[in-house]
Copies of this chain bind each other. A is one copy, B any other.
Amino acid sequence: MALIKVAINGYGTIGKRVADAVDAQDDMEVVGVSKTGPSFGCELAARKGFPLYCTTDESARIASFSSGGYECRGGLSDLLAIADIVVDCAPGKMGADNLSKYTAAGVKHVFQGGEKHSLTGLSYSSNANHAENLDADGTRVVSCNTTGLSRTLVPLYEHCGSLKVECTMIRRAADPGDSNKGPINAIKPVLKVPSHHGFDLMTVKPEIEINSLAVAVPTTLMHVHTIIADLPEGHGLTTESVIEMWRGTPRVVVMHGERHRLTTTAEVMEMARDIGRKWGDLHEIFVWEDGVKLVDDRLYYFQAIHQESDVIPENIDCIRALMGTEPDWRVSVAKTDRAISDYYDL
């Protein structure tokens, strides 16, 4: 079977990870990645063997790459012309602009969670609505936070039949490689109440009732969610059985904070580096076993989200959904994870 030809438009924090993940699969290939101009990212692409394109079609821009010693194969149009599907990893809110280009080129397209649901009218999360996305022209992989909620709440919902959730998101303020953003010594509440994060889960699983509040704090490592989920009567669950359920859930890792000495996000990230994950990433959602507690029908738990990486495998599954090559989300997830968990599984 022919490999799916994937273009990566924007080779930055997310794009470079998606490119490696695509490259690791046996049913797809990277036909090109794009950059705005010469930089260390071009060198990285060159060393990895990904053909380099410019994010625009301006000839002056395209020519500028050679000044840095890089070979640029052409503009975005040239890249789209050889692709079956494009993963949009452009920063900011360039969605509407890019969407028209993708549509004009007749190329399927996957946006990231920085764009709104309304851009494509369709969103994606592997365990929530893979089937709904089969053969669609374009969609949006939901944000790192929404993906994290989907991972632990969807199986809970499927067991219980209904769910009412409140979540407080304690967000890291900047990526590890970002040195411009603050606050250095403050807590910043997101004063839009409830915050948009909870609602966003309903774009892929409208049956889950959820609200959220958010604050930003001065750390570069992982978001943390404190979650309160009200289960319906007769749910039949216990603290232990919830933990067991998540142990059997793909892309959720349950470890014990005290016993494993993983009591903060710093130690969780060190563990990800220990097991040899690329970039020290942890695409699984991390749940502290000793932080889960069911009190009557109210479930309390903490989870940590690795912002740069939890959506990476979702993009791979999403490519298969849009291309219609794998209708079963569980099969796709297993295939994706086997290919990218290069060192070993948790």
B-binding residues in A (CB < 8 A): 16, 39-40, 44, 47, 166, 168, 170, 172-174, 176-189, 191, 193-194, 211, 213, 215, 217-222, 224, 226, 228, 257-258, 260-267, 269-271, 273-276, 278-280, 288, 290-293, 295, 298, 300-302, 304, 344
Contacts and interface: CB of A to CB of B under 8 A. Distances in A.
26 contacts: A40-B262, A44-B274, A47-B275, A47-B344, A170-B170, A174-B182, A177-B266, A177-B267, A177-B269, A179-B182, A179-B184, A179-B267, A181-B181, A183-B219, A183-B264, A185-B220, A186-B219, A186-B266, A189-B302, A191-B257, A191-B302, A193-B292, A218-B219, A273-B280, A274-B279, A279-B280
Contacts of A219: 183-187, 217-218
A211 B230 CA distance: 14
Contacts of A226: 168, 189, 213, 215
Contacts of A186: 179, 219, 221, 264-267
A257 to B, nearest CB: 5
**Chain A facing B: main interface SS:** mixed
A293 B224 CA distance: 23
Contact of A180 (B166, B177, B182, B302): B182
A217 B187 contact: yes
A290 B191 contact: yes
Contacts of A270: 176-177
B185 A40 contact: no
Contacts of A258: 191
Nearest to A266: B186
A203 to B, nearest CB: 19
* Top 5 A-B residue pairs of the complex, sorted by shortest distance between their CB atoms: A177-B270, A186-B266, A179-B183, A168-B168, A179-B264
B224 A187 contact: yes
